[in-house]
Amino acid sequence: MSCFVMKCGGSTLAALPDAFFADLKKLQESGNIPVIVHGGGPAISGTLEKLGIETEFVNGLRKTNEEVLDVVEMVLAGQINKEIVRKIQLSGAQALGLSGVDGHLIQAQPVANAHEVGLVGDVTNVNASLIEGIVAMGYMPVIAPVGIGADGGQRYNINADTAAGAVASHLGVERMIVVTDVPGIMRVVDGEKVVLPSVTVAQIDEMIASGEIYGGMIPKVRAAVQCIQGRVQEVVIVNGAEPEVLSKALEGAVGTRIVK
């Protein structure tokens, strides 16, 4: 059994075709088990709005107090996590949903600017043996990025990209796949948009500065770069709607590879 880490936004995953989940099942059956770390920002914002709880972002991080954290945990570890598990199981694959709180899976401490953002965490440790145990049993771990303090008392809201990068690094995975709704990083060549097969982190900074990477692509690319930490050497951005996209990404046949 081997495994790879896949990061996906909650809203992206919900919109993926059945073929995507069939591909997950095929990979699981071949002994290459996906470890999924998911987000859920839009759903959290929607629920906070319904409940009349104000929310704001500071440098891309959601300002989080205990009241907001209750909603974050409810939406991520409850609603979205179980929705993903159901979809995977409907395809005939085996999945097990958990959050970073379970089994001290994702341990965290307050981020450096906690005075501005509140209960947002940086990952200090990942219980990799728990993930490996679930994989060894033949289940696909589906992880919601809520962390727990070293004392086991305080929960933390963790950015999904940060969590995914930390999980991949602690598992010793060199390559991580980020599933989005775009086929990769695009560049205009001779009037046509083409997908760049490979870019470095330095090139990405240059392309953002020059305006070649713009709008909604900037956070996606920055998020992918955030995943390159520890042992993770490269992150592949792919479009989840493409047939057999994960199998192809593992072979290096689709998407954009972002390398250190």
pLDDT tens digit sequence for 62-74: 999 999 999 999 9
Helices (H), 91-227: 114-117, 128-136, 160-171, 201-210, 217-227
- The pair of three-digit structure tokens given for residue 121, joined into one six-digit string: 């965490």
CA distance 247 to 240: 11
DSSP state of 207: H
Pair 101, 154: CB distance under 8 Å: no
List, in sequence order, every beta strand (DSSP E) within the chain: 2-8, 32-38, 57-58, 61-62, 95-99, 106-110, 121-126, 140-144, 146-148, 155-157, 175-180, 186-189, 192-195, 198-200, 234-239, 256-259
**What pTM was estimated for this model as a whole?**
0.92
CATH no. for 2-259: 3.40.1160.10
pLDDT in tens, the chain (260 residues): 688 999 998 888 878 889 999 999 999 999 999 999 999 999 999 999 999 999 898 887 899 999 999 999 999 999 999 999 999 999 999 999 999 999 999 999 999 999 999 999 999 999 999 999 999 999 999 999 999 999 889 999 999 988 998 999 999 988 899 998 888 888 888 888 889 999 999 999 999 999 888 877 787 788 788 778 788 888 999 999 999 999 999 888 899 999 98
